[in-house]
A and B are shown apart, each in its own frame.
Chain A
Amino acid sequence: MIRAAVCALALVAAPVVALADDTMPPAPYAYRQLDDPVKEAKAQKLMETLRCLVCQSQSIADSDAPIAGDMRNQVRLRINAGEDPEAIRQWLIQRYGDYVSYAPRVTASTWPLFAVPGGLIVVAAAVMRRRLAKRKNA
């Protein structure tokens, strides 16, 4: 939505993160796709669900931050080596915690995220039933 405006401003107003930038060329696979389209698709799908650590509200698949490029490089190299995407996600979660993954897991602190939709289905069904079961006395 307003994210465009927002990111634009962040570039100007973020005094914390982007104090300076390196002059190194991006990592080999930061802006390069894997030759195997099946593996590239796997990598792309995973990258879209990993959080860029410095840009706060972007996935690494759509960030120009150097560390996002380095993370893409890692993901592509590991996928290319035959690693499972979920194993790579776990590897990152072991290092940065659940924050790094946009796909929440069911844990002691996140179970309501999954229980509430289930509850909503039950409530919705109950409401529909009560509302509609009275057709006989209409």
Chain B
Amino acid sequence: MLAELGLAILWMAASLAGLQLIAGSFSLTKDGDGLGAIVRPVAIVQGVLVALAFASLIMLFVETDLSVKLVADNSHSAKPLIYKIAGTWGNHEGSMLLWVTVMGLAGGIVAAVERRLPERTMMATLAGQAFVSLGFYAFLLFASNPFQRLSPAPQEGNGLNPLLQDPGLAFHPPTLYLGYVGLSIAFSFAIGALVTREVGPAFARAMRPWVLGAWIFLTLGITAGSYWAYYMLGWGGWWFWDPVENASLMPWLAATALLHSVSVLAARNALRAWTVMLGVVAFSMSMIGTFLVRSGILTSVHAFAVDPRRGGFILALLAINIGAALVLFALRAGTVTEGERFEVTSREASLVFNNVMLSCILGIVLLGTLYPLVTEAMGVKVSVGPPYFTPMSAVFAVPMLVVLAIGPMLRWRHDRFARVRAVLAMPLGVTIVAAVGFALGGVRSPMALLALSLAPGLGVASLLPLRGRHLARAPLSLWGMVVAHVGIAVALFGMGADAAFTQQRLLAASVGQSTQLGPWRITLASIEPVAGPNWTALEADLSASYAGGAPVHLHPQSRTFWAPPQTTSVSALHTVWNGQLYTVLGEETHDASSAATPTGRWQLRLWWKPFVPMIWLGGILVALGGLLAMVSRVRQDLKRRSVRTRSRERKA
């Protein structure tokens, strides 16, 4: 019953989205004024209904209703509750329902709270949001119905891959989704503003919290995904420029640029058309990324079943959505005036530089990700990987980081470089000292040296905007910027340290054997079998002592699952203040002459990775900076609103 109810609610929500589109569009015409009144309520109800539909799908998963095909295919009655819930979005249909749910809720919230923009722009924005949603509703209802029944119902579900039953992997996809879909609001605002040509500070202020919010989730999602790849894959890699990774990076790059240009627009009423363009691009990148991951068009083994029909559907969807937005942009952007002017040495100019560099990096990531498709059309197979992406993005990232150190110190509109020159001596000095120090210390890789010397200077420079201020009274938004920029420096240092200082030891060790790895003395104390709920494992007891200190114990496992039968390595990590010890237990080695003769020696893979956790610590700081900025902006907005209401009351 619940499945039919969920489907009915979903249909109702879809019809309301249609109504929202029609009413919103008509209200923009001369005689459609009266229709405008229903658009906001419709948007709110649409959001509530689609959330109910999603809630009923979650309920079906919680109850493990095996007569629903999706549940039977992806769940199992004996799964822990948390993975039953996570199973809701751990598949194609459920994740698309999550997508429209977030879109519907975001649209509903905008309709409920946003009162600053001219009503015509709001109508156009909500119509735009409904237009994009409708496509996804159609996709759900016609090509991937999550509520489809299965008859007869099977005795038991197929279950979820045990490897995916990891708290991290359960919540990493929805975090990214919140980011992807949050950007749809920026997209709709951009559409609304293009339709009514109302691009200004009010538009920027309305858009900013949404961009910030989406960007925080994207940052967290990418950081978390990188860390899970790092510990799950068992080889210590944290970023490989894989198409799936790039698909999440591209919206982040666009959102980061948008975040900064929106600040210029809000503060200085400049960069109007550019900001609108980025609003369109950011969500387009979300859709393109999702398409690339789902369609299986690129060589990246991925989590969802490849179905060319679905790929075609999503492609048609994004061709319509993005194509329409870009046509609108081409027709209207010429009439959106440029806005205020500014000079080379001004905060705006450095933000423009940041935007241009981020866009270039985005261009390169997109090009490199898609290029194998281009050559395949010519009949040649190529691979584009880290040796291309890393230096190519550094070409643009390094100048951007240099400007990042200077920009926040400059004043809006116009400034003299002489004013900040003295202050900048300190970060410059730190950078030079770090460069010389690390070069003499034996760092040979140019990329690593660049990262390791830029990062400390950047860290110092990021703190400089706080100088001379009463720290407790500095605005929260300033703190947000400082924390986020320090986070970039911290992550950069971690990346450089990984490339420069990582030490690896592969060995076949017998019990009792010791090895030295950097400052660590590591002994294989024992190998014991252990059993889990649906697996058995061999577990090593590694005793590791840092520089002769008291030993710590790490327990990497070689784990064998029964259904489906597979063996995986479960790494064990130990974090100290200056790095992470990373250990993996492989298989027992065998004598070359016969498989039946074990040697009593076990493959161990050990890494000492100095300062590597700074990569993810940096990511968390960046997200935290975003959160501070968002809290500050929302508080400001609320204050402004209450002032406005009060003054209106006084007038009345």
Residues of A within 8 A of B (CB): 1-12, 14, 23-26, 31-33, 44, 48-49, 51, 55-59, 61-64, 97-104, 109-110, 112-113, 116-117, 120-121, 124, 127-128, 131-132, 134-135, 137-138
Contact = CB atoms under 8 A, between A and B. Distances in A.
A32 B245 contact: no
Contact of B382 (A32, A58, A59, A109): A109
Contact of A49 (B293, B374, B385): B385
A7 B229 CA distance: 10
A10 to B, nearest CB: 4
Contacts of B233: 3-4, 7, 62
B172 A7 contact: no
Interface in B382-404: 382-388, 392, 395-396
Given A11-B566, A98-B382, A116-B364, A134 B303 contact: no
Contacts of B591: 25
Contacts of B569: 64
Contacts of B545: none
Contacts of B590: 23, 25
The 10 closest A-B pairs by CB, nearest first: A102-B385, A62-B235, A103-B387, A8-B163, A4-B232, A1-B245, A10-B301, A1-B225, A99-B381, A23-B595
Contacts of A102: 383-388
Nearest to A116: B367
B618 to A, nearest CB: 17
Interface in B545-601: 564, 566, 568-569, 586, 589-592, 595
B520 interface: no
B574 to A, nearest CB: 20
Contact of A1 (B248, B344, B364, B586): B248
B297 interface: no
Contacts of B356: 124, 127-128
B341 A134 contact: yes
26 contacts: A1-B229, A5-B164, A5-B169, A9-B302, A9-B303, A11-B163, A12-B161, A12-B566, A25-B595, A32-B506, A44-B504, A49-B387, A57-B240, A57-B242, A57-B299, A57-B301, A64-B234, A103-B385, A112-B367, A113-B384, A121-B395, A124-B356, A131-B352, A132-B352, A135-B343, A138-B414
Contacts of B364: 116-117, 120
Nearest to A40: B504
Contacts of B492: none
Contacts of B349: 131-132
B73 to A, nearest CB: 12
B173 interface: yes
Interface in B337-370: 341-344, 349, 352-353, 356-357, 360, 363-364, 367-368
A54 B356 CA distance: 39
B566 A113 contact: no
A8 B586 CA distance: 17
B301 A98 contact: no
A33 B249 CA distance: 34
A51 B301 contact: no
A54 B172 CA distance: 27
B383 to A, nearest CB: 5
Contacts of A12: 161, 163, 564, 566
A59 B172 CA distance: 24
Given A1-B244, A61-B235, A113-B371, A31 B343 contact: no
B228 interface: yes
Contacts of A9: 161, 163-164, 301-303
B508 A32 contact: yes
Given A4-B229, A117-B392, 8 more contacts: A12-B566, A24-B592, A25-B590, A98-B381, A104-B383, A110-B375, A113-B368, A138-B341
A117 to B, nearest CB: 5
Given A4-B228, A98-B383, A138 B343 contact: yes
Contacts of B385: 49, 51, 59, 102-103
Contacts of A55: 301
Contacts of A25: 589-592, 595
Interface string B601-632: 00101000000000000000000000000000
B378 interface: yes
B589 A6 contact: no
B496 interface: no
B367 A113 contact: yes
A102 B243 CA distance: 13
Contact of B383 (A48, A51, A120): A51
Nearest to A110: B382
B589 A3 contact: no
B644 interface: no
A46 B233 CA distance: 20
A128 B356 CA distance: 8
Contacts of B236: 62
Contacts of A3: 225, 229, 233, 240, 242, 244-245, 300
Nearest to B377: A109
Contacts of A100: 383
B301 A2 contact: no
A99 B591 CA distance: 34
B257 interface: no
B237 interface: yes
B243 A57 contact: yes
A121 B508 CA distance: 50
A10, A98, A134 pick with most chain B CB within 10 angstroms: A98
B222 interface: yes
Contacts of B242: 1, 3, 57
Contacts of B173: 2, 5
Contacts of A98: 380-383
Contacts of A128: 352-353, 356
A104 to B, nearest CB: 5
Nearest to A9: B303
Nearest to A61: B235
Contacts of B235: 61-63
A31 B603 contact: yes
